[in-house]
A and B are shown apart, each in its own frame.
Chain A
Amino acid sequence: MQARLEVAAIDAVMVVFEARVDLAINQAVHQFAAQLKQANPSWLRDIVPAYHSAMVVYDIHQTDLPSVTYYLEQLLRQPTEQHHSLASTQHRFQVCYEAPYAPDMPRVIEHTGLSAAEIIALHSEREYHVYTVGFAPGFAYLGDVDERIQTPRLATPRSKVPAGSVAIANQQTAIYPRTSPGGWNLIGRVANWDMRQGLAIQAGDSVVFEVINAADFAALEQQQRPLS
């Protein structure tokens, strides 16, 4: 897949693929990131993959822009096996989609014209791809949400979204890793959520939601949480 390089910062270049939010393009980004990580040139300081781009931070004491550009262009030209699976992890979370954990379910019902049961089924039947992680530590942008349940962000964001909330905004879904402000539609809550679970999610991984009822949620929450 075609990509171009541009200066991103004093010590970083941006590798930019075609400007679309698209699964194949995003997979190319992660493929590239994995290749670079594996090659692990001594000057590589950091790599940050996003939707259609990845920022590569280099050590200016070891190399310079022309050398990095040449290296990355060579790497991008290397044929990659399309079906070569990346070492990605599947993360499974148990989610209660019932009140009081789904305050925006009525909004999603109204917007989509579907029943709560249909929305829950459509949201939980997919394996989601992690496009990128950003905005906050462990905040993974998951997609794509079934078109039938896509719902726009709230006009006014909430000042406090509880940690572990499962939310949707248009074609994306996410888990809020910690209590924070947020404008996505809250339709569930992960049982026994721990922020470190969010930090374990890498771009390119996949996420699956399992439906549990309120009684199971309460029972799981009763269990001893891992020591923090």
Chain B
Amino acid sequence: MSTKAHLKIVQPGLLATVQDRGRFGHSAQGVSRGGALDERAFLWANKLLGNTPNASAIEVTLGGFKAKVLTPGFAVVCGAPASVNLNDQPQPNWQVFATAPGDVIDILAPAHGLRCYLAVAGGFDVPPTLGSAATVVRDGLGGLRGDGTPLQAGDELAKGCASMYPAVVNRRPKHELIPRVSAHSELQLPMVPVAQFAQFSADEQQRLFNQAYTVTAQQDRMGVRLQGEQGMHWPHPQIISEPLPVGAIQIPPDGQPIVMLNDAQSLGGYPKVGVLSWSARMALAQASAGTKVRFVALELSHAQDELRAAELFFGCTG
């Protein structure tokens, strides 16, 4: 066992991966961005601990995660409302806690939502691959081994030095600032119409906004397939593959939208009708199968205002 190790994975659950904000500037080489899907929860975790915004954390998918603490430190769990236990005692999420050697952290399956972020003060020391620690399984890049493999039982992570301020126990966001993960009500997804939107007929455009869609089980870190009553019909020949931004809403031949998330491929050959706002993407990254969603048109300037404000708030500009 490495003396530097701070945390040992006992049980990774369905999928636990090391993530940061992602791998920027390599799309031209076909490299996906990767990075925390619920970036807002991830950034909150680092902010609460006094870390730099890009410090590596663990993205835990659907709970079932257990880790053992090896050296003293501080930790926090943000994201979906999952029960967190510290040595079998309930520990509020979205709240910094101190950890001692021998402590066991459990993240149980969330009541609703999909993903939680376990961050530690200083971040995890994971060597970057192409400038980022983000694990992208399909690209074979990033993570503890640099080859895109998710965390496995027995893996040990060292503490990094990404602290800006000392961590403070019990620090948490004001209650009203904690993003609510939708359980039952219909989720509004603001989106900016882009790309081939104008080339769909007016009726098809109306259909996109007038019907509710259901989040399907066909979803992963690459994207989420939605199902609506009526598909959207593309009246033109196949398009030539184009660069595909994260958050893009693609319409494949069956007419049912696929929303691209962080691990999406860098090029796409389906028509695109829009791109989700930042917070809509965060919400969709927490939407489990069966969630009802509805697209709402948003002006680009408003979407930019929101993203700019978020990046300023979390200190990740430039």
Please report A residues at the B interface, Cβ cutoff 8 Å: 6-12, 14, 16, 19-21, 45-55, 59-61, 64-65, 132-139, 178, 180, 195, 199, 201-203
A6 CB contact (under 8 Å) in B130, B194, B241, B303: B194
A-chain residues with CB within 8 Å of residue B31 when the two chains form the complex? 137, 199
A48 CB contact (under 8 Å) in B243, B247, B304: B243
B29→A137 contact, CB < 8 A: yes
A-B pairs with the 9 shortest C-beta distances? A134-B267, A9-B245, A55-B243, A48-B243, A48-B27, A133-B30, A137-B31, A134-B30, A134-B266
A9→B307 contact, CB < 8 A: no
**Minimum distance in angstroms from B44 CB to a CB of chain A:** 20
A-chain residues with CB within 8 Å of residue B241 when the two chains form the complex? 50-51, 132, 134
**Minimum distance in angstroms from A77 CB to a CB of chain B:** 23
B30→A61 contact, CB < 8 A: no
CA distance A180 to B245 in the complex (A): 23
A55→B245 contact, CB < 8 A: yes
Identify 20 residue pairs between A and B in the complex whose beta-carbon atoms are under 8 Å apart, listed by A's number.
Answer: A7-B300, A10-B275, A46-B24, A46-B27, A48-B27, A49-B243, A50-B242, A51-B240, A53-B242, A60-B307, A60-B308, A134-B241, A136-B138, A137-B31, A137-B140, A138-B30, A178-B140, A199-B29, A202-B29, A203-B28
B266→A48 contact, CB < 8 A: yes
B-chain residues with CB within 8 Å of residue A46 when the two chains form the complex? 24-25, 27-28
B139 at the interface (CB under 8 A from A): yes
A202→B28 contact, CB < 8 A: yes
Please, what's the 1-or-0 string for B222-259, where 1 marks a CB less than 8 Å from any CB in chain A?
Answer: 00000000000000000111110111100000000000
Q: Which of B242, B245, B247, B317 has the most CB of A within 10 A?
A: B242
CA distance A46 to B266 in the complex (A): 13
- Whether A19 contacts B267 in the complex (CB less than 8 A), given A59-B318, A139-B30, comes out as no
Number of A-B residue pairs with CB-CB distance less than 8 Å in the complex they form: 121
- Whether A50 contacts B243 in the complex (CB less than 8 A), given A10-B278, A10-B304, A135-B265, comes out as yes
A-chain residues with CB within 8 Å of residue B28 when the two chains form the complex? 46-49, 133, 202-203
B43 at the interface (CB under 8 A from A): no
Tally of chain B residues near chain A (CB < 8 A): 42
- In chain B between 246 and 301, which residues have their CB closer than 8 angstroms to a CB of chain A? 246-248, 265-267, 275, 277-278, 300-301
A64→B304 contact, CB < 8 A: yes
B311 at the interface (CB under 8 A from A): yes
B-chain residues with CB within 8 Å of residue A10 when the two chains form the complex? 192, 247, 275, 277-278, 300, 303-304, 307
A52 CB contact (under 8 Å) in B240, B265, B307: B240
A11→B247 contact, CB < 8 A: no
B304→A50 contact, CB < 8 A: no
CA distance A47 to B25 in the complex (A): 8
A-chain residues with CB within 8 Å of residue B195 when the two chains form the complex? 6-8, 14
B242→A9 contact, CB < 8 A: no
B118 at the interface (CB under 8 A from A): no
**Minimum distance in angstroms from B35 CB to a CB of chain A:** 14
B141 at the interface (CB under 8 A from A): yes
- Whether A9 contacts B29 in the complex (CB less than 8 A), given A48-B243, A50-B241, A60-B307, comes out as no
Q: Knowing that A7-B192, A19-B240, A202-B28 are A-B contacts, what are 12 other residue pairs whose CB atoms are under 8 Å apart, sorted by A's residue number?
A: A10-B275, A10-B277, A14-B243, A16-B242, A48-B243, A55-B27, A65-B304, A135-B266, A136-B139, A137-B30, A137-B31, A139-B30
B-chain residues with CB within 8 Å of residue A135 when the two chains form the complex? 30, 265-267
**Minimum distance in angstroms from B187 CB to a CB of chain A:** 19
Q: Which of A6, A46, A55, A134 has the most CB of B within 10 A?
A: A134
B307→A11 contact, CB < 8 A: yes
B240→A8 contact, CB < 8 A: no
Determine the residue in chain B with the shortest Cβ distance to A195: B140
B245 CB contact (under 8 Å) in A12, A16, A49: A12
CA distance A137 to B31 in the complex (A): 5
